[in-house]
Amino acid sequence: MRGSPLFLCLLSVSCWANLTPTAGGKIFHFGTCRVSMSMAEIRAGFTAIKANIVSIPRLRGNFSPLNSFSKPSDRCCITHQLFTFYVDKVFKHCRTEDSFVNRKISSIANSFLSARRKLGQCREQNNCVCGEESTEKFKQILANYEGLNVTSAAMKSLGELDILLDWMEKSR
């Protein structure tokens, strides 16, 4: 029994650390899933990218389906799918000659990768189930992406990142 107070103290600190946002981070709730992200850091990186790449297209419409989600589990699912989409497709094809811009893209990609991992854990526990609505909306987004050549599609999606970030903050 001597170890019990120490165990409880360590457990409390561990739980507190997992629920406390880090370095300007915010906790986002997607159904029962919680993800801590530093939105200020991601937005600063995105702003730096936009300022340095004049050719980012501002074509709206790819992420317009996001505004219609009503169920928290669908928001969780679509967010996981979009983080996967950005990590696996978009960020890989957004390479420039500017190492500063590439570092910013890499930093945002790492944030998305970490959040995707947390949402993936929720999915494994069946707390982030993909319903028909989220599956169909993601198929629309993917079809829009695949309708363009790889580089143009990646740059267009990078240009629409602020739409995704705005939606995430509104659904918080």
For residue 146, is it within any domain? yes
Convert the pLDDT of each residue in 44-94 to its tens digit: 999 988 877 755 555 555 555 566 665 766 788 888 999 999 999 999 998
Where in the sequence is the domain holding 31, given as residue range(s)? 23-170
Q: Is residue 2 part of a domain?
A: no
Any domain includes 60: yes
Domains of the chain: total: 1
Residue 13 lies in a domain: no
Is 84 contained in some domain? yes
CATH of the domain at 144: 1.20.1250.10
- The pair of structure tokens assigned to 32 is 């029962």
What is d(CA 62, CA 108) in angstroms, rounded to the nearest whole number?
20
Asked whether 24 and 38 are in contact (CB, 8 A), the reply is: yes
- Nearest residue to 162 (alpha-carbon basis) of 21, 71, 33, 58: 58
Domain assignment present for 11? no
Give the residue among 99, 83, 100, 101 at the shortest CA–CA distance from 157: 83
Q: Is the pLDDT of residue 7 over 50?
A: no
12 in any annotated domain: no
Q: Are 108 and 43 in contact (CB under 8 A)?
A: no
- Confidence bin at 159 (pLDDT 50/70/90): confident
Q: Which residue blocks in the chain are alpha helix, DSSP H?
A: 4-19, 39-52, 72-85, 99-124, 132-146, 150-159, 161-170
Q: Quote the mean pLDDT of the chain.
A: 78
Residue 105 inside a domain? The answer is yes
